[in-house]
Amino acid sequence: MISPRDMIPRHETLSSIFFKVPFLLLLVHYFSCMEFAYAASSTTSSSGRNQAEALLDWKASLDSQSQSRLSSWVGNNACNSWVGISCTNNPGVVTNMTLTHLGLKGTLDAFNFSAFTDLLILNFWNISLYGNIPANVTNLTKLKQLRLCTNHFTGNIPPEIGVLTNLEFISFCQNYLTGFIPASIGNLTKLSILYLWSNQLSGSIPQEIGLLRSLHKLSMSWNLFMGTIPATIRNLTNLSSLELWNNQLSGSLPQEIGLLHSINEIFLNQNFLSGTIPSSIGNLTNVYSLILAMNNFSGTLPASIGKLTGLSDLRLQVNLFSGVLPLEMNNLTQLKTLHLSGNQLTGHLPQDICLGGLLVNLTVASNHFSGPIPKTLRNCTNLVRLRLDWNNFRSNISEDLGVYPDLDYVDLSYNNLYGEVSSSWGQCKNMTSLKISGNNISGKLPSELGNAVQLRLIDLSWNHIEGAIPPELGNLNLLFNLSLNSNQLSGTIPPELKMLSSLEYLNLAENNFSGSIIKELGECLRLSYMNLSHNKFVERIPPEIGHLHLLRYLDLSHNLLAGEIPSELGFLRVIEMLNLSHNNLSGLIPATFDRLSSLTSINISYNELEGRLPNCKAFQEASFDEYRNNSGLCGELSGLRPCYTTKRSKPMTQKTKMVIAITVIGCLLFSFSIGGCTFLTYERVRRKQQKAVVPEHIDLFTVLGHDGKLLYENIMEATEGFDSKYLIGEGGHGTVYKAIMATDRVVAVKKLHASEAGNLLNLKAFESEICVLTKIRHRNIAKLYGFCPHPKQSFLVYEYIEKGSLRKVFTNEEQAMELDWTKRLNIVKGLASALAYLHHDCSPPIVHRDVSSSNILLDREWEAHLSDFGTAKLLMPDSSHWTSLAGNFGYAAPEIAFTMKVDEKSDVYSFGVVTLEIITGKHPEELISSLSSPPPSSLPSSSSSPPLSVNRPALLMELLDQRIPPPRNRVANGLACITRIELSCMNINPSSRPTTKQVSFELIPRRPPLEQPLSSIRLDDLLPSIHNTDEAQIS
């Protein structure tokens, strides 16, 4: 046997053997490492190829244009200069995908996330992707940043998101995500930034949000979150920014918010939050922005707010805060923006409000502040925006206000301010708006005002300013609104005003101007509104006024104008309102007025005019009050003598006279015979009726109208006994049928429900009321021809309006799209005009009681006609009760539930709801519920009420009916004006709603162009003027 020892060569020593063994081991290790390196290189190469293939497969799923934008994605190495791809940590392995602003069209359905297990950053911001966020995104287990903001993703946030425990940054903002925030988000304990804003996420904010202790920024604004802010928010001690604005959050602000010691910004505006601001807010000493606007917060502001000495932006507008401001607010010397408008705050403003000299925006409008303007405001030279309007400030503006080089907008209207308009306003070179209306300002207008060449709007109306208009105002060639009405100005209008090439609105009414109306006004070619009424202008109306082809409103009433009406006024083709009343005008009305097809309102009363009224709809439908006291006028309207065309004729012969005499005598004898027979027949029938027992509703019919009688039998024949094929509508009081009479005349017949007909306890009184209603004539009111009481069928007969009700139009997609913004604005104006006529031009006033989109009918020209006016009261004599309006609950004013009272202001509220419906294209039930305020019984007795609290949407554009393109230019301007008015109509306090006369006046196209794009107008910008509308404001 050979032993191991024998295998060793004899010539080798033991030491040489010990030398070779380590060498052999080293050689084995070397080859092992080479084999491992080769295997690793092979794996990396394989992984790189897999990633390239995965990316190319996803690229192929996109549209051709998107693929062209990824033209660098070729080959099998994604790390070789492929756009948006980075392989920084491990060559050949993708760790960063950043594709932004590329406009790629496609989904993530074909994206193989499992191929990118080493990915750290996935940034697909603003590349137009759509579809769902796939659940297999959770395969990216090393991912730190997931950015999918500004795309079109829909569906839910994947519940599995909690698997990605390395995430530090999530951005899903500006998509269309729905559903809840998954509770698994609490697993992402490394998360520093969470952006979910501008989606459609709903539900409550999960308690698990409090587990994200590393969170620095939390933004979930512009969603549909409900419920309360979770108390677990106290754990987010590293949070620097909290943004939850524009949701539907409710409840109080948790006391625990005071534990967020690192917080810099808090945005909770535009929710339904209520209660008081907790005193713990004073612990947030690092906060510089505190935005709680447009909620339902109430009570007084806590004194601890004065501890926020670093605060630069404080916005609490449109809430229910009351009481005085704490003196500690004098400590807020770093303030740049203070917005407190639309509350119920009282007392004085802090005297050191601008002690730091940094204040840029001070807006405290629509409160009950009193006392002087703070002295520190005089030296607040950084001011850009100053709004003190709708308060009770009493101060001398000549002394308490200074020079503000950067001032852009100032509104001091409707206070008790006095003093004079300072010449220093002329040094405000950037000022665009100067409003000091409704005060006690006196003195003269300074000529230096003409140096503020950026001015677009001057409103100094309703003061005691005297003297002449300085010619220097002609330098303001950007000015589009000049309102100097209701002062004591005198002299003549300076001809320099012709240089106001941008002027659209000119109101000089109710002053002491004299002389002639200057012809130079005809050079202000952009004028759409001109009111020179209630002055002492003499001589003739300058024919140059006819050059103002954009003029829609012209009021020259209550002057001393004489001579004939110039025919050139007939060239005002878009004129809608013309008032020439109370002058000394004479002669014929020009024939050119026949062409004024846009004219809706005319008043020529109290002049010396003569001849025939123009063949123009506004003239033909005018009431007697609008042309009374012109003895020479003639026409077919009530109160006017007929117009005769006479020709010289030959003398009658004796034979002719004899024939006429015989004819007359014969007619008289025949009439007497017929009358006698009729009398005998009547007596015979009357005696029979006295003996017989008959129902109270006798078998008679009374359908009255200026076109004669419409017989009951004809109605029954025309509708084939009210067959359903003639049915065109159904309302709370009856069903409506279309009836084509034998004369081819088309009428609408409302057959009353049996219960309604049974309420006619006093038929004679009812018919008397109907007779009053049949005499109503207005272009925007559906004509009521009369009423037919009958034991079987009782019905009302109306003018037939072709397109049916507004509600019916909105339910028809094709018709709704045809109803563009111009038509919709005209419908609103027509409805306002109709209600103003019923409330203010009828004696006694007629309350509609049932204004809704079902009672607004549209003709073939899309013009509105209000129907069922006044009949709600007639059909339901006890309809002051809430139950009588249950059929249109969504339109009824809220106070009816408390007061059981229906009056003109109830109609005004309903008008506001209908207007909102016209803007949104549907009944605004959800928005109405957000316009919540206390019941009338809890309101203060003053005429100023808390503004509406509009919580969602924030932008006016969000309200608009999306079925039609957004409005532009003048139409957009009108829409903003209408929205402002309808919000005022829906004020919770009836006494603070405007009258329909005021509404109709405000709807006249006289507003200047928008000061900002329609897309950026917020609803809170439209709220400050929703109350305190004074009848005296309407000239």
SS (H, E, C) 708-759: CCCCHHHHHHHCCCCCHHHEEEECCCEEEEEEECCCCCEEEEEEECHHHHCC
More confident residue, 334 or 657: 334
Which band of pLDDT confidence, cut at 50, 70 and 90, is reported for residue 728? confident
pLDDT (0 to 100) of residue 1003? 76
The CATH code that applies to domain 693-800 is 3.30.200.20
> Three-state SS across 440-454?
EEECECCHHHHHCCC
Q: Do domains 693-800 and 812-1033 have the same CATH topology?
A: no
| Bridge partner list, 586 | 564, 608
Secondary structure of residue 688 in the 3-state scheme: helix
Residue 254, φ and ψ in degrees, nearest 5: -65, 140
Beta bridge partners of 560: 538
What per-residue confidence (pLDDT) applies to 794? 78
Task: Name the pLDDT band for 646 (thresholds 50, 70, 90).
Answer: very low
Alpha-carbon span 403 to 45, nearest angstrom: 73
Distance CA 532, CA 522 (A): 14
User: Exposed, middle or buried, 701 (CB in 10 Å: 0-12/13-18/19+)?
Assistant: buried
* Of 48-57, 685-694, 707-716, minimum mean pLDDT range: 685-694
Token pair, residue 161, equals 């998101």
- CA separation for the pair 923, 937 (Å, rounded): 27
Q: Return the active site residues.
A: 850
Q: In whole angstroms, what is the distance from residue 46 CA to residue 43 CA? A: 5
Question: CA quadruple 15, 17, 18, 20: dihedral positive or negative?
Answer: positive
pLDDT at residue 435 is higher than 60? yes
At residue 880, the pLDDT reads 38
Lowest mean pLDDT among 559-563, 637-641, 686-690: 686-690
Stretch 37-52: mean pLDDT? 58
pLDDT of 954: 58
Residue 443, Ramachandran bin (φ over 0: left; ψ between -120 and 50: alpha; else beta) = left
Residues 532-556 have a mean pLDDT of: 95
Q: Which two tokens stand for residue 1031?
A: 């009848």
- Per 3-state DSSP, the chain is made up of helix, strand and coil in percentages (nearest 5) of 35, 20, 50
pLDDT in tens, 958-992: 788 888 888 877 787 788 888 888 888 888 778 77
Predicted confidence at residue 711, as pLDDT, reads 61
Lowest mean pLDDT among 141-150, 246-255, 736-745, 1014-1023: 1014-1023
Please indicate whether residue 956 or residue 473 has the higher confidence score (pLDDT): 473
Q: Residue 962: its pLDDT value, please?
A: 86
**Whole-angstrom distance, CA of residue 580 vs CA of residue 929:** 44
- Residue 751 among known ligand-binding residues: yes
pLDDT at 188 over 50: yes
Decide if pLDDT at 773 tops 90: no
Q: How far apart are CA 733 and CA 726, in angstroms?
A: 18
Across 454-468, 716-730, 734-748, 938-952, least confident range: 938-952
Percent of the chain residues topping a pLDDT of 70: 78
Q: How confident is the model at residue 362 (pLDDT cuts 50, 70, 90)?
A: very high
pLDDT at 545 over 50: yes
Main-chain dihedrals φ then ψ at residue 555, nearest 5 degrees = -125, 110
Report yes or no: 147 and 120 within 8 Å, Cβ to Cβ: no
Residue 137 · residue 119 · CB < 8 Å: no
Q: pLDDT tier at 712 (50, 70, 90 boundaries)?
A: confident
Residue 102 DSSP code? -
Given a contact cutoff of 8 angstroms between Cβ atoms, the answer to whether 582 and 557 are in contact is: yes
pLDDT value of position 900: 62
Residue 678 is predicted with a pLDDT of 55
Q: Each residue of 246-258: pLDDT tens digit? A: 899 999 999 999 9
Longest dimension (CA), the chain: 181
Lowest mean pLDDT among 206-220, 308-322, 488-502, 656-670: 656-670
DSSP 772: H
Mean pLDDT of 474-481: 94
Helices (H), 597-734: 617-620, 654-691, 712-718
Is the peptide bond between 230 and the residue preceding it cis, with omega within 30 degrees of 0?
no
Question: Residue 27 — very low, low, confident or very high, per pLDDT cuts 50/70/90?
Answer: low
CATH of 812-1033, one of 3.40.50.9100, 1.10.510.10, 3.30.2130.10, 3.30.420.40: 1.10.510.10
Q: What distances in angstroms separate CA 72 from CA 55, 84, 102, 108, 355, one per listed residue? A: 12, 10, 13, 20, 60
Say if strands 488-491 and 466-467 run parallel, antiparallel, or are unpaired: parallel
The three-state DSSP-derived secondary structure of 267-333 is ECCCCEEEECCCHHHHHCCCCCEEECCCCEEEECCCHHHHHCCCCCEEECCCCEEEEECCHHHHHCC
Within 10 A of 739 (CB to CB), how many other CB atoms are there?
23
DSSP class per residue in 484-550: --SSEEEE---GGGGG-TT--EEE--SSEEEEEPPGGGGG-TT--EEE--SSEEEEPPPGGGGG-TT
Give the domain ranges of the chain: 693-800, 812-1033
Amino acid letter for position 232: T
* Mean pLDDT of the region 716-737: 78
pLDDT at 622 over 90: no
Mean pLDDT of the chain: 82
| Highest mean pLDDT of the ranges 14-18, 31-35, 644-648, 712-716 | 712-716
DSSP state of 129: B
Copy the structure tokens of residue 22: 């380590």
Structure-token pair, residue 989:
């306090």
